[in-house]
Amino acid sequence: MKINLVAVGNKMPGWVTEGYEEYSKRMPRECGLQLTEITPARRTKNAQPEQWKKEEGQRILAAIPDNQHVVALEVTGQSWSTEVLSSQMQQWLTDGRDVALMIGGPDGLDQSCLQRANQKWSLSAMTLPHPLVRIVLAEQLYRAWTILQNHPYHRS
């Protein structure tokens, strides 16, 4: 299984790239984590946030093959503990399909992305900066994997 993190935003600061790569490289081959960066919509004076979300949503959906299990990172989604994420990961592995995790831009995910999602997951009720979400997500996926492997990284 591959986990494809599809995130709006490119040209991230070095600390974001380093943080993400630190955890993504720890993931094993049988549960590899890859990043697909989506170019953000061009914010102009005449355009509206809904227009930007729609444009970004089209790009996100174009980057996800039809057969993938899709999870939308959405503030109104379900909150998962690390242990629940580990159980989710086990279900994804059992399902045998690749998984796509969608992270929207500053204005969130378009409705078309939310409709495509098989699950909606909220990392936090707080608003997190989108670059930081990449790092938190990569670390939590690694932590969930270590739980499945009975590795001592996670201490509960």
- The answer to whether the annotation marks 5 as part of a ligand binding site is no
Q: Is residue 87 annotated as involved in ligand binding? A: no
125 annotated as belonging to a binding site for a ligand = yes
Residue 89 assigned as binding residue = no
Dist. CA 117–CA 3, nearest whole Å: 14
Comparing CA positions, the residue from 38, 31, 30 lying closest to residue 6 is: 38
Q: Give 25's contacts (C-beta < 8 A, 6+ positions apart).
A: none
Q: What is the residue-wise DSSP string for 81-139?
A: -HHHHHHHHHHHHHH-S-EEEEE-BTTB--HHHHHH-SEEEES-SS---HHHHHHHHHH
Q: Is 124 labeled as ligand-binding?
A: yes
Residue 104 among known ligand-binding residues: yes
The binding site for S-adenosyl-L-methionine comprises: 73, 104, 123-128
The binding site comprises: 73, 104, 123-128
